[in-house]
Amino acid sequence: MRHGYGEIFDLLIKHKARTCGGDECPIVEAVKYHRLYEVRVLVRLGVCVHWDEALSFALNNRPIFDLMVENGVEIKKYGHMALHGAITEGKKDWVEFLISEGADPNLSLPTESVIEGGEKNYSSIYYAILHGHLDVCKFLIKHGVQPEEDDLELAREKGYDEISEIIPAWLQLSNDGLPIYQVYLLETAGQTKPLLFYFTGEVDIELRLAVFGYEFTDM
């Protein structure tokens, strides 16, 4: 697979060699080494337990990624690892695309804590902050991923003032029962400090109704 020996590959397929299993999955290896022909053959056989890993490696090769999806590899089912990779690598276009196709940004993965030590499960926002991709972080928040206290602590630890100012507002608004998408509507309406905006209620009646469908309760 690594060396592109097409004739040997075809012979193995003809004799029904195992297409998945062991420490090195042939499909993952084919994706990793950009073997489009081999990927096409293997994907159409439809037998693999490593589709999530294969999609993740395919972030660097859009034709191979599209080939797998077109042949039934569902992003909604297998796209979480690819989404995690796109977040950690700061590939915002991929992040937007994968989420739009059903990959779940609310799932968490374990990593080593840079603050306390030890392994914990962290949000996708945490990974975006950890790797310094603040544009991805802001997109995830606006998309509706709930920030957590760990995210805020990491942003402060790394000195990301913009993020450490945004997260408390979203945490407070969420704690008050305000859906994240409504906070996003506030921000897109030109309110750069949604928490202050929420507490003061400085908004005209028409905008309140357009964004919320009801007026603010006095705090």
Single-letter residue type at 126: Y
In this predicted model, what pLDDT tens digit does every residue of 118-157 receive, in sequence order? 677 889 999 999 999 999 998 998 887 888 888 999 999 9
Helix 161-175 crosses helix 180-188 at what angle (to 10 degrees)? 130
In this predicted structure, what is the pLDDT of residue 207?
A: 45
Residues 56, 108, 42: CA angle, nearest 5 degrees: 25
In this predicted structure, what is the pLDDT of residue 198?
A: 46
In this predicted structure, what is the pLDDT of residue 99?
A: 95
Give the residue ranges of the chain where pLDDT is below 70.
1-23, 111-118, 169-219
In this predicted structure, what is the pLDDT of residue 90?
A: 96
In this predicted structure, what is the pLDDT of residue 113?
A: 57
In this predicted structure, what is the pLDDT of residue 144?
A: 77
CB burial of 165-189 (b: ≥16 within 10 Å; e: otherwise) equals ebbebbbebeeeebebeebbbbbee
Residues 153, 111, 184: CA angle, nearest 5 degrees: 50
In this predicted structure, what is the pLDDT of residue 92?
A: 96
- Tokens linked to 128: 């975006």
Q: Which fold has domain 6-144?
A: 1.25.40
pTM (2 d.p.): 0.71
Dihedral sign computed on CA atoms, order 205, 208, 214, 215: negative
